[in-house]
């Protein structure tokens, strides 16, 4: 075959493959999202992993989450490695595996942050979390403890919550505070996404337990809670942010419903019912008017966030869902449902939200409810942000909004802890 013809065919094949790749990667995104091509590439990678895991699950090879975590372990998980500025070790808190980041220099008595990673209560800690915690330890001259709580599907609610609570109580114990040289008056609980859920839940429990034991000598409590795009409720999948961002990566609306069902140990066949809000219809006797008011976004969100969207509340739905999954109403799983008195006893808060995130309104409603309960709250909203952006503050997927959000988060901790 003529060399010129062969070269032309190779160029044509390359052009076809490049076009196919571009078609797979390209996704229409809102005009305001930060660095859309980076998000498209990240989403294409994530979709590939999801599709492969779904195929493996359907064929009975393994659970979809197992394959995702295997991929994470291949490319993301790293051993505890110290550097010139930070000593990194693996330990346990209350029997829960925990990675500890300790500055080698600085003040003798340091601040402390207990951190719960995100991942839908199912995916393990990634390399980016180690980088985040290492930077926090160095910039804040603080001891950072990153908790490896148990994961779905082997562990389901309340296992993850119990791990988070056990780690929190151990972190606040005099033995741990003294061992690591942590100032007992400068401690914070924090987390992102599902980790933000766990941080909010244990902040409620620890602070209310502390209130009830003060007369008996008192217990140590958190000075602050810092929640990064937290997931806080599963009764309404039609908040304005769920409607606006249902097709925006990397957390699609159906994926969040799937994560919830895995976390609560429920049948995955219920996903369409959750996505239709059939589980929270008006004929559900388990959901009181008081409970509905705690996530009434028509009252809790400002007009700028409500926009033109309308509530989706079914008159009649699927009455068996709440009986099958009563955990949907458990405040330990859904901290937004807490009573105002409980919220009022929690520490001052930082809540990060992103405009292009299905969970935006979970965080904004929690801000409003905390404020109504008398808690000092810093609401840090990113108009160009997307779910998970803060952990993409490092190479190879470094994003502008990731760097800005991480730096502002660390600055808030520095000023308030």
State how far the Cα of 392 lies from the Cα of 406, in Å rounded to an integer.
9
Q: How many domains does the chain have?
A: 3
pLDDT, residue 48, reads: 81
Tokens of 209: 């337990």
148, 192, 357, 384: the active-site residue: 357
User: In this structure, are 55 and 147 located in the same domain?
Assistant: no
190, 236, 361, 387: the active-site residue: 387
- In a domain, residue 157? The reply is yes
- In a domain, residue 180? The reply is yes
The H or E element that residue 96 is part of is strand 96-103
- In a domain, residue 149? The reply is yes
- In a domain, residue 333? The reply is no
pTM for the complete prediction?
A: 0.92
User: In this structure, are 197 and 259 located in the same domain?
Assistant: no
User: In this structure, are 186 and 312 located in the same domain?
Assistant: no
User: In this structure, are 251 and 270 located in the same domain?
Assistant: yes
357 noted as active-site residue: yes
Residues 144 and 415 sit within 8 Å (Cβ to Cβ): no
User: In this structure, are 101 and 225 located in the same domain?
Assistant: yes
Helix 159-171 vs helix 194-213: crossing angle, to nearest 10: 60
User: In this structure, are 247 and 167 located in the same domain?
Assistant: no
128, 146, 193, 318: the active-site residue: 193
* C-beta neighbour count of 190 within 10 angstroms: 24
- In a domain, residue 45? The reply is yes
Which of 16, 49, 72 terminates a domain? The answer is: 72
387 noted as active-site residue: yes
pLDDT, residue 5, reads: 54
User: In this structure, are 121 and 222 located in the same domain?
Assistant: yes
- In a domain, residue 246? The reply is yes
User: In this structure, are 360 and 378 located in the same domain?
Assistant: yes
State how far the Cα of 312 lies from the Cα of 238, in Å rounded to an integer.
6
Which of 16, 37, 72 terminates a domain? The answer is: 72
- In a domain, residue 332? The reply is no
State how far the Cα of 404 lies from the Cα of 53, in Å rounded to an integer.
33
Residues 273 and 317 sit within 8 Å (Cβ to Cβ): yes
Which of 327, 349, 381 terminates a domain? The answer is: 327
pLDDT, residue 155, reads: 97
Structural domain including 85 reads 76-210+218-232+338-416
pLDDT, residue 20, reads: 42
CATH assignment at residue 342: 3.40.50.1820
User: In this structure, are 362 and 313 located in the same domain?
Assistant: no
Residues 393 and 365 sit within 8 Å (Cβ to Cβ): no
User: In this structure, are 87 and 202 located in the same domain?
Assistant: yes
pLDDT, residue 219, reads: 72
Q: How far from 112 is each of 136, 144, 178, 322, 414, CA to CA, in Å?
A: 10, 6, 12, 39, 11
User: In this structure, are 67 and 80 located in the same domain?
Assistant: no
State how far the Cα of 362 lies from the Cα of 102, in Å rounded to an integer.
33
Secondary-structure breakdown of the chain: helix, strand, coil percentages, each rounded to the nearest 5: 50, 15, 35
Per-residue pLDDT of the chain (417 residues; tens, 9 = 90+): 566 656 555 564 444 344 344 444 567 788 899 998 888 888 888 788 778 777 877 888 788 888 777 776 666 667 888 999 999 999 999 999 999 999 998 888 999 999 999 999 998 877 789 999 999 999 999 999 999 999 999 999 999 999 999 999 999 999 999 999 999 999 999 999 999 999 999 999 998 876 555 544 457 899 999 999 999 999 999 999 999 999 999 999 999 999 999 999 999 999 999 999 999 999 999 999 999 999 999 999 999 999 999 999 999 998 889 999 999 999 999 999 999 999 999 999 999 999 999 999 999 999 999 999 999 999 999 999 999 999 888 877 788 999 999 999 999 999 999
Tell me the H-state helices in 26-105: 36-58, 64-75
User: In this structure, are 206 and 122 located in the same domain?
Assistant: yes
């Amino acid at each position: 075959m003529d060399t010129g013809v062969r070269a032309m065919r190779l160029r044509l094949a390359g052009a076809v493959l490049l076009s196919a790749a571009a078609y797979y990667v390209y996704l229409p995104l809102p005009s305001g999202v930060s660095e859309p091509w980076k998000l498209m590439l990240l989403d294409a990678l994530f979709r590939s992993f999801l599709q492969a895991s779904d195929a493996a699950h359907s064929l009975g090879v393994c659970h979809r989450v197992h394959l995702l975590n295997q991929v994470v372990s291949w490319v993301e998980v790293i051993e505890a490695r110290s550097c010139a500025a930070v000593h990194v070790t693996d330990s346990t808190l209350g029997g829960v595996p925990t990675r500890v980041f300790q500055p080698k220099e600085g003040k003798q008595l340091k601040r402390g942050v207990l951190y719960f990673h995100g991942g839908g209560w199912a995916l393990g800690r990634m390399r980016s979390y180690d980088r985040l915690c290492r930077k926090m330890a160095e910039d804040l001259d603080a001891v950072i403890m990153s908790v490896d709580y148990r994961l779905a599907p082997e562990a389901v609610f309340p296992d993850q919550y119990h791990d988070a609570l056990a780690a929190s109580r151990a972190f606040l114990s005099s033995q741990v505070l003294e061992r690591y040289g942590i100032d007992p008056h400068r401690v914070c609980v924090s987390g992102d996404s599902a980790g933000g859920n766990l941080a909010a839940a244990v902040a409620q429990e620890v602070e209310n337990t502390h209130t009830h034991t003060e007369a008996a000598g008192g217990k140590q409590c958190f000075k602050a809670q810092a929640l990064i795009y937290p997931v806080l409720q599963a009764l309404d999948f039609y908040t304005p942010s769920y409607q606006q961002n249902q097709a925006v990566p990397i957390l699609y609306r159906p994926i969040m419903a799937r994560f919830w069902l895995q976390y609560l140990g429920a049948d995955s066949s219920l996903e369409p019912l959750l996505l239709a809000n059939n589980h929270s219809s008006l004929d559900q006797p388990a959901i009181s008017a008081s409970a509905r008011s705690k996530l009434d976004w028509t009252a809790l969100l400002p007009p700028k966030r409500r926009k033109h969207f309308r509530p989706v509340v079914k008159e009649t739905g699927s009455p068996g869902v709440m009986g099958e999954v009563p955990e949907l109403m458990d405040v330990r799983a859904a901290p937004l449902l807490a009573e105002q008195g409980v919220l009022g006893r929690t520490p001052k808060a930082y809540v990060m939200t992103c405009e292009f995130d299905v969970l935006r309104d979970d965080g904004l409603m929690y801000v409003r409810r905390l404020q109504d309960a008398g808690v000092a709250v810093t609401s840090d909203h990113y108009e160009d942000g997307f779910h998970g952006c803060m952990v993409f503050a490092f190479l190879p997927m470094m994003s502008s909004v990731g760097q800005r959000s991480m730096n502002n988060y660390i600055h808030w901790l520095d000023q308030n802890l």
